[in-house]
Structure 1
Amino acid sequence: MALKATIYKADLAISDMDRGYYASHNLTLAQHPSETIERMMLRIAVFALHADERLHFSKGISADDEPDLWRKNYAEEVEQWIELGEPDEKRMRQICSRADNVWVYSYGGRSAEVWWPGMAGKVGRFEHLNIMSVPVEALAELAALCQRSMQLTATIQDGTLWLSSEQGSASLTPQRLYGGDNR
């Protein structure tokens, strides 16, 4: 019998001072059996950093041809593609050809440290690509906030996200490895 996804719900109130975006989102997330709590909570944090009424979670891990999050226009063209992990050069080329704006959030700790030096010289031709690195410590803080039903408050200022709930708080300041800021 195949393992099923675990469903989480999050009411997320966002105050993004950097972009002047203030809104609430009711999110439903399916945690794939192979996905860690840290990765799932990072998806919520990245959603908060890029929040928009048309930004949605995709099938993610369950689909090879979809990102973790994406924003499509009304003609169903991909405006923004957001991927978590360390994609190889072929995947990077594919996703940059499919979207106007691409964000990659590397979060693997030691694997990310090995991945980026090998990738750094290969991404120069992608003008609309942004690569960010997430500190491992932040993943542990985010995971501590996880519950099946969450009330989260996100405050973003000067590139730092503060996420809080009844469980406590976490902060995340992704480090830019490549690209300009074109959220």
Structure 2
Amino acid sequence: MAAGATIHTFAVQLADVDRGVYDDFTLRVARHPSETDAYMVTRLLAYCLEYQDGIAFSEGVSSTDEPAVLVRDLTGAVTVWIEVGAPDAARLHHGSKLADRVVVYTHRDPTKVAAAWDGKKIHQAEEIVLRSFDSGFIDGAVVALGRRNTITLSVTESQLYLNLNDAVLMSVMRDETIR
């Protein structure tokens, strides 16, 4: 855990109808002082929306060779590389060579995020998925954020329903390929 990190606890109820994933779990998320609340909430949503056996948060901003979230198989090999925000092309290139699947979750304008990758060398770029949310969705979640949180997250037909500490938010989850 990073020095000076703020710990947020999340009691999560997940019902992802689209993937057939239903589970209740508790997460302790360390927010590094240089990390914005919007980035942390996006990182949390990426974890929940990719939830499966072997998923874990990396060391975060202090780790330069791992994504924000990753999935490892039983041998320890990285199977899913999950970036958050606006990673550079070199990180995506590295991740797509290392993992079977790469996905980016962003709280920023996805058009601007993808534009930064134009013309850059990215291994299997056409396989990388860029996920974004409706404008204001992440900001609404940030307003409801506390140190101890209760979340109910439901996903059906790419529609997200989030109840965070009794604040109810909805968003369409948009998937785009980067090329």
Report TM bin, short chain: 0.7 to 0.9
Superposition pairs for residues 137-152 of structure 1, below 5 Å? 137-152=136-151
The one-character-per-residue Cα deviations of 1:37-95 (angstroms, maximum 9, x if unpaired) are 11111112122211113211111212111111111001000011110122222222111
Counterpart check, 1:129 vs 2:128? yes
Spell out the pairing of 1:61-100 with structure 2 (5 A cutoff): 61-100=61-100
Q: Bigger CA drift: 38-47 or 125-134? A: 125-134
Worse-superposed segment, 41-50 or 116-125: 116-125
1:101-140 correspondence to structure 2 within 5 Å: 101-109=101-109, 112-120=110-118, 122=120, 123=122, 125-140=124-139
Displacement over 4 Å in runs of 4+: 120-124
Instruction: Give distance in 1, aligned partners of 2:161 and 2:127.
Output: 26
Q: Call closer, same or farther: CA 1:131–1:157 in 2, change over 3 Å.
A: same
Maintained 8 Å contact 1:80/1:100: yes
Identity, % of aligned pairs? Answer: 27
- Specify every segment of 5 or more residues in structure 1 that has no aligned partner in the other structure, as ranges: none
How many Å separate the matches in 1 of 2:38 and 2:166?
A: 15
Aligned residues: 176
Report the more deviating stretch, 128-137 or 115-124: 115-124
Instruction: Look up the SS of the partner of 1:119 in the other structure.
Output: coil
Normalised by the size of structure 1, how large is the TM-score?
Answer: 0.86
**TM-score (ref. length: structure 2):** 0.88
Give yes or no for the alignment of 1:169 onto 2:168: yes
**Structure 1 residues 146 and 19, CA, compared in 2 at 3 Å: closer, same or farther?**
same
Structure 2: any 5+ residue segments left out of the alignment?
A: none
